Amino acid sequence: MSSKIAVVTGANKGIGFAIVRGLCKRFDGIVYLTSRDENRGAEAVAELEKEGLNPKYHQLDITEPKSVEVFRDYVKEKYGGIDVLVNNAAIAFKGNAPDPVAVQAEQTLFVNYFSLVSTCEILFPILRKGARVVNVSSSAGHLSNIPSKKLVARFQDPNLTIPELSELMNRYIEAAKQGTQATEWGNSSYAVSKVGVTALTKIQQRLLMDRDIKVNAVHPGYVNTDMSSHKGPLSIDEGAAAPLFLALDAPDSVRGEYVWYNKKIVSWSGEKPNF
């Protein structure tokens, strides 16, 4: 029997780093810390090794399909497949960023949505039967962040396909370029990208049911990281708690759900929780 394999993207710092730490302590198998920058990845591994933990490392840039393909081929040849995949890599522009809205829209959705789609297309074929996928979303990924009732209904369409969802994401980018996005989409490219992640999660679950693969989205909470400009009250280990719950502990019946940092399943289209 080959070793079980867990992979975390964007894991050299923040929540991804803490998820690797938690997996190293509890996962019955080999844990891969991956990052775009090899030096930062090596430093992160060294830090965990000081704690007596033993993650493996591989370079992985989700925005470069070739990088993902190299990683896929490496894992497939060495281990045969993946058992846990945590899609954590993402970006967020700061509130005072000088970049035009159109630039923020294009770059945010390219990394947070489109690169996630391509990464999953490349890695999903080597997921083993029974694998667990955790897509790190956000409270910003709740449908209440989209003002248009028509768009909300479209996102909830049980027959929505990934190409159709990607077309919706492109529509937002075009609206941002025209400066007409606010009425239908709101003013946050990050929110649109994470709504896309949550919607994608539900479609992916539908497509993977016959392989007994569990795919869930998670809001890890407002965490003290670079991404939150260190304003979040939660530690990175607290932010890792719900992703780790989905990766290791959630009942098999939890599939295609949107789970918050307190490990509670939240209605994606209902009222946004205040906990």
pLDDT, mean of residues 127-144:
97
Residue range 169-219, pLDDT digits in tens: 999 999 999 999 999 999 999 999 999 999 999 999 999 999 999 999 999
- Are the C-beta atoms of residues 219 and 262 closer than 8 Å to each other? no
CA distance 76 to 69: 10
Beta bridge partners of 258: 217
Q: Check residues 17 and 226 and name the one with the higher pLDDT.
A: 17
CA distance 244 to 85: 11
Amino acid (one-letter) located at 202: K
Q: Is 190 a catalytic residue?
A: yes
Task: Give me the catalytic one of 190, 222, 258, 261.
Answer: 190
Q: What is the pTM of this model?
A: 0.97
CA distance 91 to 146: 20
CA distance 19 to 87: 11
For residue 213, the model assigns a pLDDT of 98
**HSE (CB half, 13 Å, CA atoms) of 216?**
32
CA distance 199 to 155: 6
> Which residue in the block uniquely carries the two structure tokens 């990683």?
71
Q: Check residues 227 and 182 and name the one with the higher pLDDT.
A: 182
For residue 245, the model assigns a pLDDT of 98
pLDDT band at 231 (very low <50, low <70, confident <90, very high): confident
For residue 272, the model assigns a pLDDT of 86
Give the sheet arrangement for strand 56-59, strand by strand.
56-59, 30-35, 5-8, 82-87, 127-136, 214-218, 258-259
Residue 221 has φ and ψ, to the nearest 5°, of 100, 175
Which tokens in the block code for residue 193? 């990208």
Q: Is the pLDDT of residue 99 over 70?
A: yes
**pLDDT more than 70, % of the chain:** 99
* First CA to last CA distance, the chain: 43
